[in-house]
Structure 1
């Protein structure tokens, strides 16, 4: 395995891990009563994820261009998806620990009112020691006591589809290079179309419902246990959706090539 692909895998792991931990931000907001601050503090990790995306895509694109006719390309792309799924599973196990650490960060930020001070405090000896005491093993009871009747199945299904589309949308356009080398630039730009479909699902069907449920918890209309069950279900759909992208990679690449050829035909008229 080349160093270039190793970097792609590392960046991809970071992106998927942060994306999984993001589901617990609402839980921390409910627990601390500081929802807006929770999202604001989480933007630090979001920034790290965006930086990882910025480096991952050019590295992977450059590798495919140099190894356009390699027989290992499909295996490498499948490995990237599997690593993303593994990161999602790892993130799910980290959620209890992350909630405790993140809760302390939210409370500290509400006092210090400064992101730089928060980061400095976290990196200090005292901050690192405090984080060690936050390490918590996932509880089996959290899964066993899930109230399936209160889980919005439609939202969870939409999340499954959105995660699968986002995963494929980042990889299929690049893999499509091999099928249509002369349309590689057009294929890359079509990634925004696939990601756009996932964005529509998130914006219209997923985020609003999760926000409503969050407010219901704050207003006492929904119990924290039921909300926690919903978050666990969303994390589960995140893991399954990521692995499902393995089966959508090649069909997605063919669809992108078909769309690219259609655009090329229209532009030639």
Structure 2
């Protein structure tokens, strides 16, 4: 059976887009602090999160189909290879988002102002930014990252503990669905229970993100707006977070099988 299928490429593309969007979401707070409109920035951030979560839900049934279409012989090895390709797409998507980060900080700064001018009306805002005029204007801000962008960033502003926590949260979120699906192959008698565990895993990762990561960045952005903090420190922190995300997707490759085995073991206490 062919390893690289059209279905697999479609899933990998979806994962690529999802992780690109979630990486670029870090630019929203930087843009909000830049134009001193944090509340409007969070509204734009929420729009991006909804798009990302919707795309994630759309790809999950297709990811499940990889198991349904797997050959009877060497099923575990075949599915593992395909899932590792999907995880690899998350790494590429995160790297792509990092490359576009300077461009989107400039674009989001203008988008936040536009959202405010439209009195918070999302339909009017979308109609405006998706017009040919504004798309052409947006292309003029396209720029590749330069080393000068790292100017004034200080490695001392990067808390190592937060870097590691975010890396593990990203890894868990990346493999949540995949490890649960693979666990259904390791314990076929508890396949449905294992598959349904993916929602719990991603839920825990989201809660950890909300508790440990988001408040820290939000407070720093507020400090910048209120002139109590440094924009460069916020930028250093944001760059640290996206770098941590990248390492998290790489760590996901190492944790993938371990996570599947843990889920398969844990379901014994449920069934």
After TM superposition, the score normalised by the length of structure 1 is: 0.92
User: Which whole-Å CA distance do the structure 2 matches of 1:100 and 1:144 have between them?
Assistant: 17
1:86 lines up with 2:89 in the alignment: no
Q: 1:56 aligns with which of 59, 81, 84?
A: 59
User: Which whole-Å CA distance do the structure 2 matches of 1:230 and 1:68 have between them?
Assistant: 46
Once the two structures are overlaid, the 10-residue window that deviates more, 130-139 or 43-52, is: 43-52
Unpaired runs of 5+ in structure 1?
265-269
1:155 lines up with 2:162 in the alignment: yes
User: Which whole-Å CA distance do the structure 1 matches of 2:46 and 2:204 have between them?
Assistant: 23
Shift of 1:68: 6.2
Q: 1:9 aligns with which of 12, 26, 29?
A: 12
Shift of 1:151: 1.7
Q: C-alpha offsets along residues 112-154 of structure 1, whole Å, 9 cap, x if unaligned? A: 2222222222222211111111112212123364211122222
RMSD across aligned positions (CA): 1.6
1:235 lines up with 2:242 in the alignment: yes
Residue correspondence of structure 1 range 204-223 to structure 2 within 5 A: 204-223=211-230
Once the two structures are overlaid, the 10-residue window that deviates more, 110-119 or 242-251, is: 110-119
Q: C-alpha offsets along residues 24-51 of structure 1, whole Å, 9 cap, x if unaligned? A: 1110110111111112123333232222
Q: Contact conserved, 2:27 with 2:108, CA < 8 A, in 1?
A: no
Q: Contact conserved, 1:155 with 1:209, CA < 8 A, in 2?
A: no
SS of the equivalent of 1:72 reads: helix
2:110 — aligned with what? 104
User: Which whole-Å CA distance do the structure 1 matches of 2:209 and 2:18 have between them?
Assistant: 18
1:140 — aligned with what? 147
Q: Give the aligned length.
A: 264
Runs of 4+ in 1 over 4 A off after TM superposition: none
Q: 1:204 to 1:221 in 2, by over 3 A?
A: same
Shift of 1:230: 0.7
Q: C-alpha offsets along residues 176-223 of structure 1, whole Å, 9 cap, x if unaligned? A: 122112211100121233223323321222122222212222222221
2:176 — aligned with what? 169
Once the two structures are overlaid, the 10-residue window that deviates more, 217-226 or 18-27, is: 217-226
Q: 1:102 to 1:204 in 2, by over 3 A?
A: same
